[in-house]
Amino acid sequence: MITSGDIQRFFKKFEMKTSTECWDWEACVNNRGYGKFSLDSKHIYAHRFSYIIHNGEIPKNLCVMHSCDNPKCVNPWHLSVGTAQDNMNDKCAKNRQARMFGEDNPKSKLTVEQVHDIRTKRMMGIEFAELYNIDKSQISRIQNNLKWKTV
């Protein structure tokens, strides 16, 4: 149950500005930048608490999304609810998804130079697979330009 004391404490953690400006959470944030607010000895995301006190309960299985893309923002005019898919669609529409290709991807097992070798040198796929310690099917995908298309 949310009390008036909880709400008063909440409003001390940010500076209220105009409806178009972000109201940045100035207290504790998690490693992704989302504000955290203590409520009944538990933590709730500050933007979710803001949504609740301004709009009522968050429907089950919905998330609170930021139109401003600022995880610290608790401005209720910047918050709306949607499904996880809505949130992903919004992220992609705004081109905010992570894009790590080639050597920039921490899971990459090859370098650009090795991919170039796979495409240009005359060796059997199995030989490349053994040389670079990757599956032969990956060699085939690289040679057929199905993987590492940017190289």
Q: What is the reported pTM? A: 0.66
Q: How far is CA 126 from CA 37, 107, 117, 141, in A?
A: 55, 21, 14, 13
pLDDT band of 104, cuts 50, 70, 90: low
pLDDT at 8 over 60: yes
Helix or strand or coil: residue 90?
helix
Q: CATH 3.40.50.2300: does it fit domain 4-93?
A: no
| Domain regions of the chain by residue span | 4-93, 102-143
Handedness of CA 80, 81, 82, 83 (dihedral sign): positive
Q: What is the pLDDT of residue 148?
A: 84
- Of residues 124 and 151, which shows the higher confidence score? 124
pLDDT band of 107, cuts 50, 70, 90: confident
- Of residues 2 and 104, which shows the higher confidence score? 2
Q: How far is CA 128 from CA 3, 60, 151, in A?
A: 66, 51, 17
Q: Residue 31, CB half-sphere, CA atoms under 13 Å: how many?
A: 0
